[in-house]
Amino acid sequence: MAIDRETLLVAARGWIGTPYVHQAALKGVGCDCLGFLRGLYRELTGEEPEDVPPYDPSWHIGGEELHTGFARHFPEITSAAAKPGDVLLFRMVPRGPARHCGLLADKEGAPTLIHARQNKRVSEEVFSAFWRARAAYAFRFLKD
């Protein structure tokens, strides 16, 4: 995908305000955290990264499915090496599987996170100590 970071971040910010809808991936209509990134990828490339089977809130119980799925499509990097435009996966409980994802961004030089959360719309918020402590994996969304 030959898209620069600024183009990616502008496109991602276009999703802000999209309502949370489990398993959806439609800008302005609804998405979950994975659907936001799937829809953004589709918007930028014109293709779907892969068919995602139906999943419910317990989809993560078998292991690191979110990590495995991203690893099929994007180069993995360390969380410390992540920069605006990279994808982060989060463990919401210690030693649990990664089950949330978002896009690292920045606003006026300060790191932010663009993501969809249950019962909230897609938003951009400060990449706080809360999120930093839960970052488990990172992937390069763009080819450098």
pLDDT at 1: 52
Identity of the residue numbered 133: A
Pull the structure tokens for residue 32. Answer: 């979950």
For β-strands 110-115 and 98-107, DSSP reports them as antiparallel
pLDDT at 20: 96
The residue ranges of the chain whose pLDDT is under 50 are none
**Helix 33-45 × helix 5-13 angle, to 10°:** 130
CATH 3.20.20.70 given to domain 5-53+63-139:
no
pLDDT at 55: 75
Indicate the burial class of 54 (C-beta count within 10 angstroms; 0-12, 13-18, 19 or more).
Answer: exposed
- Domains in the chain: boundaries: 5-53+63-139
Q: What is the strand order of the sheet 135-139 is part of?
A: 76-77, 135-139, 87-91, 98-107, 110-115, 123-126
CB-based contacts of 123, cutoff 8 Å, min separation 6: 16, 114, 115, 117
